[in-house]
Amino acid sequence: MMVDGFRWLLPLLPVGASLFAAKGLYHNFQLESYQFPGYFRSLRRNRMRAWLPGLTVTVICVALYYLYDLEASSVMPDWLKAGISILLLAAACAAGWGIGRTLNEKKAKKKFVWTGRMKRLFTASVLVTAAVSFGLAQSPLAVLPALWPLILPLTVALSGLLVWPVEKLISELYFRDARRKLLENPNLIRIGITGSYGKTTVKNVIGTILSEKYPTLITPASFNTPMGVTRAIREGLTTSHQVFVAEMGARHVGDIRELCRLVHPTIGVLTSVGPQHLETFKTIERVTKTKYELIDALPGNGHAFFCDDQAICKTLYDRTEKPKTLVGLAAGRHDVWCEDVGVSPQGCTFTLHVTGKGSIACHTRLLGQHNIQNILLGAAVGDYLGLTLKQIANGIAKLNPIPCRLELIPSASAFTVINDAFNANPVGTKAALQVLSQFPGRRIIITPGMVELGAHEAEYNREFGRDIAQAADIAIIVGKKRVQPILDGLADAGFPAENLYRVDTLDASTALLRTLACKEDVVLYENDLPDQYQEA
């Protein structure tokens, strides 16, 4: 039995060690937008990084407990016992810091940020773990407080649950303030954009085109959640703006409805509907229902814009009874369309047609035919809001590639890079490979494949592998177990084994590329997995 003295300090050992060791868990929680389902999925994907910190802390703290017992049992003054206790606490914290750093030693693509919300979560974790530790210290089994870190991932979740009501209240206050600021100008044109793919590109297209006539604010980067859009409004909207364009993302049914409660859009743009985020949506029907929440939210005198994908978007257009516009890549029933399309590694040219307004020649630096359809949506919105064809064409000419979305990075001294690493989906990968196939010379792809496709993930990645075989000369596949379907698809298509490489990390692919690539080559980076999807 452990002697008294400074035994009351001992429950702090696992608390101090765990708070440092759990940094990766806090980071995962942040990466999953503090959503519990996503956090628990990340625990299942990364079992070792999730549970090993707590196990290691437990082993260390048990050892420190018995070391204290051994030292405190000897005859020594109280001040020395206090010193030993403090040293043990410092050792536990240092050990926890080392564990956290070792298990998260790779450079995170999205850095851990000490936001206000994370500080509140951390404070709750201190209180929760201290309460658990001191509560267990009342047990006759003196070492019991050192064992609770075995469930460290669950204590992080419990802390998140305890602060959830506070976070909900804070977010609702910010939300209402942003909505008040947005709606206090009754003449402000409010545009919502959603879709499975192309949201950010269409948002930038619309913002660039409308800026030819109106002072326009668009949500920055990929700020497409309620709190992201709230922040964009509170920090960026001024009385001089005449148009506000909000990108609206979704991972669950009801997400778009919540964003519409904030924005109250009068114009809705649906870019696409397809297999994206199936890990959370489960079915394409649920994706469709969620995306259409934007059109449902439009007022009776609002206006909806659709692209003709000959699939779900077209079906949704047909069923919509509100004022609507359809765009497409050819003449027919389309209100806005194009002809004389020319696609090259330098960009695209086409003739824009608008029903009742005429036509005009256009040029853009954006790569790929799919981007022309994105531009048509922007042109249609511009026409609806009174821009001339000349203003629309000027806006199209000013469009810049969005970083990490088919961004062309030429080099006079090295190979050309097409950076499409932001994300990947079944439709986007086909478009990227089509762009790659248009380049002369040897074509190289570096990819970890696609994620968040639920039960269909392996099927889509296998098809991706077959598509790669038709467009690339060399394939560098990044990953471990998850990439096997891509390798299977490449084999199905008879891709030469001597031109196929599999590496564990992106850094390893970069090192390999230096030994393979020549100046005349073009390299497509297709997707870069978020930190929570990295395989241990």
Write out pLDDT tens, residues 426-474: 888 999 999 999 898 899 999 999 987 878 889 999 999 999 999 999 9
CB-CB neighbours of 200 under 10 Å: 24
Backbone angles phi and psi of 277, in degrees to 5: 55, 35
Answer yes or no: is pLDDT of 385 > 50.
yes
Which element (helix H / strand E) includes 466? helix 457-471
Are 344 and 440 spatial neighbours (Cβ–Cβ below 8 Å)? no
Tell me if residue 191 falls in helix, strand or coil: strand
User: Helices in 46-140 by DSSP H: which ranges?
Assistant: 47-72, 78-103, 116-136
pLDDT at 380 over 90: yes
Q: Between 392 and 109, where is the model more confident?
A: 392
Calculate mean pLDDT across residues 43-48: 82
Closest to 334 (Cα-Cα) out of 322, 352, 312: 352
Q: 142-169 in b/e burial notation, b at 16+ Cβ within 10 A?
A: bbbbbbbbeebbebbbebbeebeeebee
Angle at 269 between CA 349 and CA 274, to 5 degrees: 85
Mean pLDDT over 400-419 rounds to 85
φ/ψ bin of 239: left (φ > 0), alpha (ψ from -120 to 50), beta (otherwise): alpha
- If phi > 0 it is left, if psi is from -120 to 50 it is alpha, else beta; for residue 347 that is left
% residues pLDDT > 90 (the chain): 53
5 has a pLDDT exceeding 70: no
Q: Where are the alpha helices (DSSP H) in 73-115?
A: 78-103
**In the prediction, which pLDDT does 1 show?**
35
pTM, two decimals, is 0.82
Pairing of strands 347-354, 358-364: antiparallel
pLDDT tens-digit profile of 96-139?
566 656 555 455 567 788 888 999 999 999 999 999 888 888 87
Using a 10 angstrom Cβ sphere, with 0-12 exposed, 13-18 middle and 19 or more buried, the burial of residue 112 is: middle
193: left (phi over 0), alpha (psi -120 to 50) or beta: beta
Residue whose entry in the numeric block shows the structure tokens 């035919």: 369
Q: Over 80: is that where the pLDDT of 306 sits?
A: yes
**Four-CA torsion 449, 452, 455, 461, nearest 10 degrees:** -10
Beta partners for residue 444, in sequence order: 474, 523
- Contact between 392 and 352 (Cβ < 8 Å): yes
Which tops the pLDDT comparison, 344 or 270? 270
Q: Per mean pLDDT, which range of 50-59, 225-234, 393-402, 440-449 is the poorest?
A: 50-59
Place of tokens 């999925």: 41
What the block records as the tokens of 14 is 């696992």
The pLDDT value recorded for residue 2 is 40
Residue written as token pair 């035994």:
7
Burial of 238 (C-beta count, 10 Å sphere; 0-12/13-18/19+): exposed
CA distance 527 to 536: 18
Residue 71 has pLDDT above 90, yes or no: no
Q: How far apart are CA 268 and CA 261, in angstroms?
A: 14
Q: Which residues, 6 or more positions from 505, have their beta carbon under 8 angstroms from its beta carbon?
A: 106, 478
Contact assessment for residue 195 and residue 291, using Cβ atoms and an 8 Å cutoff: yes
For residue 72, what pLDDT is reported?
A: 54
Provide the token pair at 431: 């478009």
Mean per-residue pLDDT over the chain, rounded: 87
Over residues 416-420, the mean pLDDT reads: 91
Among candidates 504, 536, 369, 508, which has minimal Cα distance to 437?
369
End-to-end, the C-alpha distance of the chain in Å comes to 40
